[in-house]
């Protein structure tokens, strides 16, 4: 950027784009909270902060270039320049070449790549995800079944929102912790039924045979299942499921919730042989994982908020009203798989929806 804007303007533009500084009126530039925190670190500790707290690697153009490197294992600087021109509409070959050098240096600093002469080689490593594959026929069948359910169940379609909204309002008003937790479980189940899942809050005769329970003392366990074949990790599986640990708290989510959801996922896997199972923590938290949660959640426990689920349900409503394809259980599994693969374990709605749209 420095050749096109000058060093000072380029540094300012970069820092503003990634949230490290804020501009006040025309002349004053101040460090943001993120920038202030970053300046407390130096050397490798600063790189650790950029990776794990600022998550610079998830922002553009780093996320895009990392994805290309992961697919191809290596890129020439010339190819990086071409990709930047095509993806981000860099105005000239000269600027694109300059950007390619600058951003390549950043990819090396962020431990995503190493230089080999005029070539970048991927060293960032990969997370073993479920490698879910979507067959067009499966997507169509799941979409058709879900459309039939939604159309018969909700007239007008706006009624889709009534039960989840009522339950979530009840959570906010409840005075008793047990009641609050139960209502929040029902809210999560209600949302995922509208995405096409079979949801489980109660135990039956079959669960007793397998030592599986959705009625653990203290609550929080919810299952969402899709009894439909799926291709994952190179083989056909008879179905797939999401294990939920639901937390009605607005406070931080710690390692206890992660241990609980992993245990539920294990029990579901034992009861539904060869099913693909994803672990998910759902909460009303305004701060997300605490330090113990951030340490224990990788590589596979994703945290979503109730706010994101409300946005997702609104999104589903708009799609059914517009006669568009719906968000199905398969779309959800593909999206969660992408989040795990890229270690974005606490996405906001903007990030989640951008990934989801790729699969619709």
Return averaged pLDDT per consecutive 10 residues of the chain, 360 residues in all.
59 82 74 86 88 83 87 89 82 79 89 89 82 84 96 97 97 92 96 97 84 82 94 89 96 96 94 94 95 92 98 98 97 94 91 94
Kind and range of the H or E run holding 30: strand 28-31
Give the count of beta carbons closer than 10 Å to the beta carbon of residue 341: 17
CA-atom Rg of the chain in angstroms: 23
Please, are residues 246 and 282 in contact by the beta-carbon 8 Å criterion?
yes
SS3 state of residue 237: strand
Length of the chain (residues): 360
- pLDDT of 26 reads 63
Omega of the bond prior to 15 within 30 degrees of 0, cis? no
- pLDDT of 1 reads 44
- pLDDT of 254 reads 96
126-129 contacts: CB < 8 A, separation 24 or more?
126/70, 126/341, 127/299, 127/340, 127/341, 127/342, 127/343, 128/299, 129/300, 129/337, 129/338, 129/340, 129/341
Closest to 119 (Cα-Cα) out of 61, 166, 78, 174: 78
DSSP label at 82?
H
Kind and range of the H or E run holding 222: strand 221-226
The pTM score is: 0.74
Omega of the bond prior to 299 within 30 degrees of 0, cis? yes
- Return d(Cα 314, Cα 309) in angstroms, integer: 9
The pair of structure tokens assigned to 82 is: 């071409």
Domains identified in the chain and CATH numbers = 2-122 (no CATH), 132-359 (3.40.91.50)
């Amino acid at each position: 950027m420095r050749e096109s804007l000058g060093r000072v303007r380029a540094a300012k533009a970069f820092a503003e784009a990634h949230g490290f500084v804020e501009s006040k009126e025309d002349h004053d530039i101040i460090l943001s909270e993120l920038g202030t925190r970053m300046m407390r670190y130096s050397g490798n500790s600063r790189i650790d902060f950029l990776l794990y707290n600022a998550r610079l690697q998830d922002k553009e153009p780093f996320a895009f270039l990392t994805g290309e490197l992961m697919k191809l294992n290596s890129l020439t600087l010339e190819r990086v320049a071409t990709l930047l021109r095509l993806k981000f509409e860099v105005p000239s070959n000269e600027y694109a070449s300059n950007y390619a050098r600058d951003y390549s240096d950043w990819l090396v600093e962020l431990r995503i790549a190493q230089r080999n002469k005029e070539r970048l080689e991927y060293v960032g490593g990969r997370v073993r995800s479920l490698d879910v594959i979507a067959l067009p026929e499966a997507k169509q069948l799941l979409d058709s079944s879900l459309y039939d359910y939604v159309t018969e169940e909700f007239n007008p379609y706006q009624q889709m929102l009534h039960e989840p909204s009522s339950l979530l309002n009840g959570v906010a008003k409840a005075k008793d912790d047990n009641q609050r937790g139960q209502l929040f479980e029902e809210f999560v189940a209600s949302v995922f039924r509208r995405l096409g899942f079979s949801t489980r809050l109660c135990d039956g005769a079959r669960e007793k045979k397998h030592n599986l329970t959705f009625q653990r003392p203290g609550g929080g366990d919810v299952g969402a299942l899709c009894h439909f074949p799926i291709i994952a990790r190179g083989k056909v599986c008879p179905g797939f499921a999401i294990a939920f640990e639901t937390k009605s708290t607005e406070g931080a989510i710690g390692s206890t919730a992660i241990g609980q959801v992993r245990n539920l996922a294990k029990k579901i896997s034992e009861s539904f042989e060869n099913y693909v199972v994803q672990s998910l923590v759902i909460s009303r938290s305004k701060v997300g994982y605490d330090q113990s949660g951030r340490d224990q959640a990788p590589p596979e426990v994703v945290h979503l908020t109730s706010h994101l689920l409300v946005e997702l349900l609104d999104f589903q409503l708009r799609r059914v009203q517009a006669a568009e394809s719906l968000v199905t259980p398969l779309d959800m599994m593909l999206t969660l798989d992408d989040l795990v693969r890229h270690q974005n374990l606490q996405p906001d709605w903007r990030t989640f929806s951008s990934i989801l749209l790729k699969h619709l």
